[in-house]
Amino acid sequence: MRALKLTAWKTEPELVEVPDPVPGPGEVVVRIGGSGACHSDLHLMHDFEPGALPWNPPFTLGHENAGWVHALGQGVRGLEEGQPVAVYGPWGCGTCEHCALGIETYCEKPAEAPVPGGGGGLGLDGGMADYLLVPSQRLVLPLPEGLDPVVAAPLTDAGLTPYHAIRRSWPKLTPTATAVVIGVGGLGHMAVQILKATTSARVIAVDTRPEALKLAESFGADLALISGKDTAAEIRKATPNGRGADAVFDFVGADATLAIAGAAARMLGDVTVVGIAGGSLPVTFNSPAYEVSVQSTYWGSRPELAEVLDLAARGLLVPEVTTFPLEEAVTAYRRLAAGELTGRAVIVPTGLQGKGA
């Protein structure tokens, strides 16, 4: 089969031929229908040095995956060949307290995981290939009726990650609250939809690109602001009595965006750092405002993925998708790096391509 391999740090991946995977006991082989191209993959290609992570190349990229069950290993029950499924991306030990709750992103026995702190496309072979070997059926979720794998693939990260971040702040997102989404890219455009579908808060979108803000408005953002030196003040001006935002979700994570988040947050509000651009937010007694909670989140839980898939099946979460055939995956990443894509790029090994959800 074909696979898009990252063969070394600080290189572009290569499309190569590799043997088809064969499932062992408890394993599942998925025929890939779609695999999302994530901005974090660009960091894998260009930023990391040997030893920076607990795993190294070579491995096949693609940690956002959906498709159809192709083959079942001995002992697998409850799945059928040909069944449409999504793959939960973080692969933990499966037995620690967090994994038992389905929060495998925060596995506390990484030495017992298939790969420490990673999964398919993150240290092990991922889904930018014709087939994906999944090490346990617990990581395979049946798709709700009518949900296409091409649409479902980005939901496994670009949908799940903002859903988890927003879910933590649900108690603060009341009808009188204001939520801010900084960075309306692959994750941010889904965050706007999740906020509108699951809360009654007013939503403000912030980005440097007018086309991204137009997309945010099409998904229900109440206000769209170009990011700049006065953005925090503009956010506060848009809130009652200038009090600031009850929850700010930064999907960029650069110094400039974190500064906006910290300055715009209301007392007792939340600032959640999701983006991995490497910025920092100084925290002192007086800044951010009193009792602002600052937290980072990574991905989400398996039960939350089931909730995200349900939202999508009901039409409440619709990824903006541009598809590319596997042969053009490197082009997709180059366009992603250049900021030329809105929404999410999805690699489709079957060769079906175009634009649309």
Look at residues 81, 71, 67 and name the one whose alpha carbon lies nearest to residue 31: 67
How far apart CA 307 and CA 305 sit, in angstroms, is: 5
Do 229 and 347 lie in one domain? The reply is: no
Q: What is the mean pLDDT of the chain?
A: 95
> Is residue 307, in this structure, part of any structural domain at all?
no
| Domain coverage including residue 183 | 160-296
**Please, which pLDDT band fits residue 343 given cuts at 50, 70 and 90?**
confident
**Residue 218, domain CATH:** 3.40.50.720
Helix, strand, coil proportions of the chain in percent (round to 5)?
Answer: 30, 25, 45
Lowest mean pLDDT among 40-44, 70-74, 133-137: 40-44
Do 90 and 216 lie in one domain? The reply is: no
Both ends of the chain: CA-CA distance in Å?
27
What percent of the chain has pLDDT above 90? 95
Strand partners, 275: none
Do 130 and 54 lie in one domain? The reply is: yes
| 356 has pLDDT over 50 | no
Tokens of 349: 């090994």
Angle, helices 302-313 vs 188-198, to 10°: value is 80
> Is residue 302, in this structure, part of any structural domain at all?
no
Specify the pLDDT at position 67: 98
Do 182 and 90 lie in one domain? The reply is: no
Do 197 and 117 lie in one domain? The reply is: no
| 350 has pLDDT over 90 | no
Three-class secondary structure of residue 327 per DSSP? helix
Look at residues 269, 98, 106 and name the one whose alpha carbon lies nearest to residue 176: 269
Do 51 and 79 lie in one domain? The reply is: yes
Do 165 and 289 lie in one domain? The reply is: yes
Do 237 and 131 lie in one domain? The reply is: no
pTM of the model: 0.95
Do 110 and 185 lie in one domain? The reply is: no
Strand partners, 2: 17
Read off the pLDDT of residues 217-245 as tens digits, 9 standing for 90 and up.
999 999 999 999 999 999 999 999 999 99
Specify the pLDDT at position 354: 41
> Is residue 306, in this structure, part of any structural domain at all?
no
> Is residue 133, in this structure, part of any structural domain at all?
yes
Structural domain total, the chain: 2
Read off the pLDDT of residues 180-191 as tens digits, 9 standing for 90 and up.
999 999 999 999
Read off the pLDDT of residues 65-103 as tens digits, 9 standing for 90 and up.
999 999 999 999 999 999 999 999 999 999 999 999 999
| 166 has pLDDT over 60 | yes
Buried b (16+ CB within 10 A) or exposed e, 34-56: bbbbbbbbeebbeeeeeeebeee
> Is residue 304, in this structure, part of any structural domain at all?
no
Do 7 and 136 lie in one domain? The reply is: yes
What percent of the chain has pLDDT above 70? 98
Specify the pLDDT at position 342: 85
Mean pLDDT of 37-52: 91
How far apart CA 289 and CA 263 sit, in angstroms, is: 8
Specify the pLDDT at position 20: 97
How far apart CA 96 and CA 137 sit, in angstroms, is: 17
Specify the pLDDT at position 64: 98
Do 128 and 43 lie in one domain? The reply is: yes
> Is residue 154, in this structure, part of any structural domain at all?
no
> Is residue 88, in this structure, part of any structural domain at all?
yes
DSSP track, 19-79: PPP---TT-EEEEEEEEEE-HHHHHHHHT--TTSSS--S-EE---SEEEEEEEE-TT--S-
